[in-house]
Amino acid sequence: MKSFNILLLILLLASCDAPRTRRFTSSTASNSNSAFNFNNNGSNSGQGTGTTNNGTGDNGTNTVTVPEDAKHCTFSTDGINNFPSTSSHLGAYSLCKSSTDASSVYFQLKTKATGSNGTEVQVCLIPTTNSGNNSIYVGNPMCGLFSDPKQARKITFVKFSQYQNATISGVMIFKDTTYYYPVFNNYVNTLSAYQTCMNALYYGNSAYCEAFKSVGQYVFQGI
């Protein structure tokens, strides 16, 4: 896993407006964001055809058809074992880029994300691309609940117009909750803190980005 570098925060934004957030709910599939469940007995809520994985679900043996563009990915079929990545912020998870859609990834989370009071919160994923030694934020945040550890969700990013031709090579992931950020002198929602960092940096003020980095409540992973 790549460590977060402050150079990630040197962005070439064409606008000083905060990016809009595009949210989905992990229990509801749409045309651009679908899921497949390893605990569905004999059924699959995802799309496409691919390899077959056999496992034991709540009601016995189930057969899940993994989408064609996710055949190369590693998922946990029991929601406990075989997660390929882990972090102190998210716990164990799977993140894998689609083999046919350069703007899509699959994401599976072992333990649902919670805030400081134990209430479930959304997880946000933001696409980035490499530009020399820098990683540039190139698309809308995609936020949703990931409550089922046996569910892998396909997330299709929406890139900003100026980065339509950029290759997504990394993803920043964090809980959609609040932490104390020193430069704000207050508890701030992580997504808002990140967006404030982006806008402030556009005007040459790096203090908000330094604060975001120092709090460290995020995961940055190359894909």
In a domain, 196, yes or no: yes
How does pLDDT run across 161-177, given as a tens digit for each residue? Answer: 999 999 999 999 999 99
In a domain, 187, yes or no: yes
Helix 190-202 and helix 207-215: axis angle, to 10°? 150
- Prediction pTM value: 0.78
Q: What is the pLDDT of residue 40?
A: 59
Q: What is the maximum span of the chain, computed from C-alpha positions, in angstroms? A: 58
Q: What is the pLDDT of residue 133?
A: 67
The pair of three-digit structure tokens given for residue 221, joined into one six-digit string:
């992973």
Q: What is the pLDDT of residue 34?
A: 83
Q: For each of the chain's 223 residues, which pLDDT tens digit applies?
A: 443 333 343 333 322 233 334 444 333 333 346 888 987 554 443 333 233 333 444 444 557 889 999 999 999 999 999 999 999 999 999 999 999 999 999 999 999 999 989 999 999 999 999 877 667 789 999 999 999 999 999 999 999 999 999 999 999 999 999 999 999 999 999 999 988 987 888 788 989 989 999 999 999 999 9
Q: What is the pLDDT of residue 35?
A: 87
In a domain, 114, yes or no: yes
Q: How many whole angstroms separate alpha carbon 41 and alpha carbon 170?
A: 34
User: How many domains would you assign to the chain?
Assistant: 1
Span between the terminal Cα atoms of the chain, in Å: 9
Neighbours of 215 (CB within 10 A): 15
β-strand 91-97 against 104-109: which pairing, if any? Answer: antiparallel
In a domain, 209, yes or no: yes
In a domain, 211, yes or no: yes
State which residues form the domain around 91. 6-222
**Count of alpha carbons within 13 Å of 158, Cβ hemisphere only?**
12
How does pLDDT run across 11-53, given as a tens digit for each residue? Answer: 333 222 333 344 443 333 333 468 889 875 544 433 332 333 3
The residue behind tokens 């057969």 is: 63
Q: Which of these, 210, 150, 205, lies nearest to 181 by C-alpha position?
A: 210
In a domain, 1, yes or no: no
In a domain, 185, yes or no: yes
In a domain, 105, yes or no: yes
Q: Angle at CA 141, nearest 5°, toward 137 and 144?
A: 150
